[in-house]
Amino acid sequence: MPDKNPILKVVTYFLLSVIITGGQCLPVIAETGKNSSSVEIIYSETSEKQSAVQKKEKKKTLSAYADFSLTSYQTVRDSENQEAVLVSDKSREDIVLSNEPTPSAVDAENVPAGSFAFTTYGWGHCVGLSQNGANFYAQYGGWNYQDILFHYYPGTVLMNTGTAETEMITVQGVPGNSLQQVAEIVNREVGPSFHPEAIKAQAVAVYTYIKFYQNDSHDLKGKPNPAQNIIDACASVLGEALYYNNDFAMTMFGASCGDLTADSNDIFEMDLPYLRSVSSDYDSQYDPHYGEVTYFTTEEVRNIIQNAYHITLSDYPENWIQIIQGNGGYVRQVNIDNQLTVRGDAFRYKFELKSPKFTYIYSEPEENFSEISEEIPEQQAEEFAEAAEEMPEEIS
């Protein structure tokens, strides 16, 4: 026969357990700003994967994702009214501060006479996440998406906005739900062949970049019909964004870099502490364009510079380009013929170089001795002829 008052019985057992254990059976509540909720710490500075924070799992509502077909998955969410949940705060100590000269990939003797040979490393502005580097850190280094993000954006904090499921974001003037827009941009940026953890890192970087620009994709574009693995990866991290000083970070990214990423201050003259030069070990090994050499004749270089900057260069090509390097070997500035100084990233676009990490070698033209002999004054030629006639016969 069932108890007449089962609720009273449960309450009684609960109070007894509290008295016996001294309250240790009560759930642990995490302090996260104004509100408190039970959350899962996705990434922690400690070696332990499980924290004392109790987990509250809830299936994600799929109705907001329109035509997208998602595989079944679970996610951890905060309470309905909470603004954001702290996930991690980890700083890396592998920031690179170096301005050592970058070697050229071509020897001076192999450069045609009267030519410039430019060597480039990486592809893009090289600030922030290297897509090539992230992919191989995941594949060969065993890194997860948090490792990748905290490496390329040191000092940032990973949090969930709690708004991604219902908000609309704009890409190239067209609004859409967040998962669809992020997945299409990720599809264009990296594609389905990347490692799942690299795709997740890219998704977080894209979403954060859009949030930085107030739910607008800014200069990012999408590619329709992303593969299922891209949709699933984006959905698994949907809403997670990187913060710095309680605001969204400007999470720049590019295709590849030259062993090290670039410092934002060197490339864009923006002093952002989380966009510093850090190592990117796999770029040089797997980027087919690493160390690419492009040749220009002296006249081509002259025309490009004079047309771009509306100046008249001197007759000394060896003085036309003087490189001032920044961190990681990237060209911070270029002094042009001691007439003006321009940003290295802007200069490289004039020559269609793939990145602002470049070097060059100038090979002087060979002297034409036949032309030199023709320039000997007629009077000197007559003197040489007279001297030859006066020479002793045995010598002549």
pLDDT tens-digit profile of 186-224?
A: 999 999 999 999 999 999 999 999 999 999 999 999 999
- As a whole number of angstroms, the distance between CA 266 and CA 329 comes to 10
Q: For residue 183, which of 245, 239, 225 has the smallest C-alpha distance?
A: 225
Please give the helix or strand (H or E) that residue 347 lies within, else none: helix 344-350
- As a whole number of angstroms, the distance between CA 183 and CA 232 comes to 9
Query: What's the confidence (pLDDT) of residue 235?
Result: 98
Report in angstroms the alpha-carbon separations of 308 from 96, 346, 356, 371.
33, 11, 17, 34
In the chain, what are the domain boundaries? 93-124+265-396
Q: Is the Cβ–Cβ distance between 278 and 260 less than 8 Å?
A: yes
Q: What is the pTM of this model?
A: 0.70
Cα 229 → chain centroid: 22
Query: What's the confidence (pLDDT) of residue 55?
Result: 31
Query: What's the confidence (pLDDT) of residue 280?
Result: 93
Q: For residue 144, which of 63, 204, 211, 217 has the smallest C-alpha distance?
A: 204
- As a whole number of angstroms, the distance between CA 9 and CA 179 comes to 46
Structure token pair of residue 367: 């002297």
Contacts with 227 (C-beta within 8 Å, 6 or more apart), sequence order: 187, 191, 192
Structure token pair of residue 182: 């992020």
- As a whole number of angstroms, the distance between CA 366 and CA 383 comes to 29
Query: What's the confidence (pLDDT) of residue 289?
Result: 83
Strand partners of residue 174: 171
The segments of the chain whose pLDDT lies below 50 read 1-4, 6-93, 369-373, 395-396
- Report the number of secondary-structure helices (H) and strands (E) in the chain: 12, 18
Look at residue 368 and give its three-state secondary structure.
coil
Q: Is the Cβ–Cβ distance between 319 and 339 less than 8 Å?
A: no
Query: What's the confidence (pLDDT) of residue 388?
Result: 55
Report in angstroms the alpha-carbon separations of 348 from 3, 94, 333, 345, 351.
82, 28, 10, 5, 5
Strand partners of residue 159: 86, 241
pLDDT digits over 163-172, tens only? 999 999 999 9
Query: What's the confidence (pLDDT) of residue 100?
Result: 59
